[in-house]
């Protein structure tokens, strides 16, 4: 079915498969119910055996954990709940020994209100860091300077009596907005990046990058038209024209790329959401002097996986000079598990295989979220166990991010499924124990085995990892496309429905079958069938 990886002269990250690790929920090594860096190190062999190229570790930096690590109080240290810098160095060494690159999150739009930078900035209006954050005077009636709203609910402004001004925060009030327009702040953030590069990091995911700069004139956002969808937050009532996505983000991106180029083949990928995501992703990755890649929310929050969605999404990233290189994720720590969104419970085993085959066949980088290789489902966390501040604030109308952050099940017969010896910070899913790693290791027909085979297939066929993609069919249920690289041509056909469909007229179906799942043949497409044919 597979053969040895093909060597090319392309950079390691182009066409890479990246495995996202959410540290709190991967492996608890010190028995406190929370995952940690040593736990990651202990489980890296599992990740390497998947055949991925790199790991991406969500924030592990010093933090009060009000937004679980995305509120950073020290960019250059490890929070004690996760371990120490020495533990991180050991993780890097082990990953590199296993042939894995290591990428980490960087959060440059905001810090924690407990960061020393903010403590100094809020002290008065004349100190050396007075303009390191976004401060503004109140309106004459004492209200906030404009109508901007935070993602997590309520105004994007909080009053601070020490300065007699409001400070901006696009998320929690404990996440004050850094003034990234300030070149000195940019210098400080690049120093942070340099700190981790010197420790051996191979790349960075730049969190919420389009939130990093605002309109300096502080103009009001216009109202968003009512499209009939449910709006649970004031944030949803506005077009974010002035509160984010300032064009000056692009020159900062170029400074990031220049620094990374000084260290060699460093991978940079931006997370970009919002109404202008596609436009911004392309701007951030255009040419060879900006970021290497970007990914958005095209799939992460889609209510259904349809041929039209896939075709429209990949068509926006053609193989053209100057066009950026995309990355794709079907799941992550913020988005609901795909098998719980996109199919009926009884169809999950078949759907998960088709979905994995599709992700590995798309042009771009593939980002796997921990547990996706097991078919992990979304967990319905009861209100009394919720940790997610957004879900708590908007209960019950906002889907909790906690449901995708539950602990990894490693051992089917062990206490807490081998994640910890004590009650974990979030509960396991009721159906997750049967999906444990060791149970699937022993089953040659498991999704885990299939995932390993698909990753090996992708590495062995440059048309899959690097080639161009041409959509052939995208109708109500059938998706067919061709992947080509040099003299290799692969036909990829998928049935995205739970009923049999006819073989597409435009696909000949002749050639060597590289893989087929759920009963697919070169001419027959049962429910959730997937087949890849070398023509």
Active site residues: 207, 271
| Distance (Å, whole) CA 321 – CA 288 | 10
Q: End-to-end CA distance of the chain, in Å? A: 15
DSSP state of 118: H
Counting beta carbons within 10 angstroms of the beta carbon of residue 84, is it exposed (0 to 12), middle (13 to 18) or buried (19 or more)?
middle
What is the distance of C-alpha 208 from the center of its chain? Answer: 10
Specify the 3-state DSSP secondary structure of 57: strand
| Distance (Å, whole) CA 441 – CA 4 | 22
* 95-100 LR contacts (CB < 8 Å, sep 24+): 95/41, 95/44, 95/55, 96/200, 98/44, 98/45, 98/47, 98/48, 99/48, 100/44, 100/47, 100/48, 100/52, 100/53, 100/54, 100/55
DSSP state of 225: P
Nearest to 60 by CA among 103, 110, 31, 22: 22
Return all residues near 399 (Cβ < 8 A) that are at least 6 apart: 336, 391
Nearest to 83 by CA among 143, 27, 144, 38: 38
DSSP state of 436: -
| Distance (Å, whole) CA 336 – CA 402 | 9
| Distance (Å, whole) CA 318 – CA 311 | 11
Instruction: State the helix-helix crossing angle for 249-262 and 277-285, rounded to 10 degrees.
Output: 40
| Distance (Å, whole) CA 170 – CA 211 | 8
Return all residues near 126 (Cβ < 8 A) that are at least 6 apart: none
DSSP state of 126: S
| Distance (Å, whole) CA 79 – CA 99 | 26
């Amino acid at each position: 079915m597979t053969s040895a990886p093909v060597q090319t002269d392309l950079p390691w990250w182009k066409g890479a498969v990246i495995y996202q690790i959410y540290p709190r929920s991967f492996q608890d090594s010190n028995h406190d119910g929370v995952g940690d860096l040593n736990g990651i190190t202990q489980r890296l062999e599992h990740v390497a055996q998947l055949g991925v190229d790199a790991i991406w570790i969500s924030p592990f930096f010093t933090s009060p954990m009000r937004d679980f690590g995305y509120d950073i109080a020290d960019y250059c240290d490890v929070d004690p709940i996760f371990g120490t810098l020495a533990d991180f160095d050991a993780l890097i060494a082990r990953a590199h020994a296993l042939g894995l690159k290591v990428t980490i999150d960087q959060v440059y739009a905001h810090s924690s209100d407990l960061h020393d930078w903010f403590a100094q900035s809020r002290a008065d209006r004349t100190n050396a860091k007075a303009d390191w954050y976004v401060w503004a005077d109140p309106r004459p009636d004492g209200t906030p300077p404009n109508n901007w709203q935070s993602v997590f609910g309520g105004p994007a402004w909080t009053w601070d009596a020490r300065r007699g001004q409001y400070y901006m925060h696009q998320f929690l009030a404990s996440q004050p907005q850094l003034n990234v327009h300030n070149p000195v702040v940019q210098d400080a953030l690049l120093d942070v990046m340099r700190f981790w590069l010197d420790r051996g990091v191979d790349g960075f995911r730049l969190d919420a990058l389009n939130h990093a700069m605002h309109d300096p004139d502080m103009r009001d956002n216009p109202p968003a038209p009512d499209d009939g969808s449910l709006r649970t937050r004031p944030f949803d009532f506005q077009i974010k024209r002035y509160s984010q996505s300032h064009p000056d983000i692009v020159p900062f991106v170029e400074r990031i790329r220049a620094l990374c180029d000084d260290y060699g083949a460093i991978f940079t990928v931006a997370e970009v959401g919002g109404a202008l995501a596609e436009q911004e992703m392309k701007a951030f990755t255009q040419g060879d002097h900006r970021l290497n890649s970007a990914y958005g929310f095209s799939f992460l929050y889609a209510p259904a996986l349809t041929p039209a969605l896939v075709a429209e999404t990949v068509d926006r990233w053609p193989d053209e000079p100057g066009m950026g290189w995309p990355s794709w994720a079907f799941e992550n720590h913020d988005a609901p598990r795909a098998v719980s969104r996109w199919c009926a419970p009884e169809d999950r085993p078949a759907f998960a295989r088709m979905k994995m085959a599709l992700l590995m066949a798309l042009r771009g980088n593939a980002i796997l979220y921990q547990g996706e290789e097991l078919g992990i489902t979304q967990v319905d966390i009861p209100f009394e166990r919720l940790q997610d501040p957004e879900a708590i604030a908007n209960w019950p109308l906002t889907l909790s991010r906690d449901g995708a952050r539950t602990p990894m099940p490693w051992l089917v017969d062990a206490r807490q499924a081998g994640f910890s010896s004590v009650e974990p910070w979030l509960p396991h899913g009721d159906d997750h124990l049967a999906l444990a790693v060791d149970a699937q290791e022993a089953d040659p027909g498991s999704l885990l085995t299939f995932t390993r085979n698909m990753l090996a297939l992708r590495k062995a066929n440059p048309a899959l990892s690097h080639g161009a993609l041409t959509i052939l069919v995208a109708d109500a249920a059938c998706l067919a496309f061709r992947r080509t690289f040099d003299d290799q041509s692969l036909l990829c056909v998928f049935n995205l429905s739970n009923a049999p469909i006819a073989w597409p007229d435009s696909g000949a179906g002749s050639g060597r079958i590289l893989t087929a799942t759920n009963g697919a043949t070169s001419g027959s497409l049962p429910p959730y069938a997937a087949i890849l044919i070398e023509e």
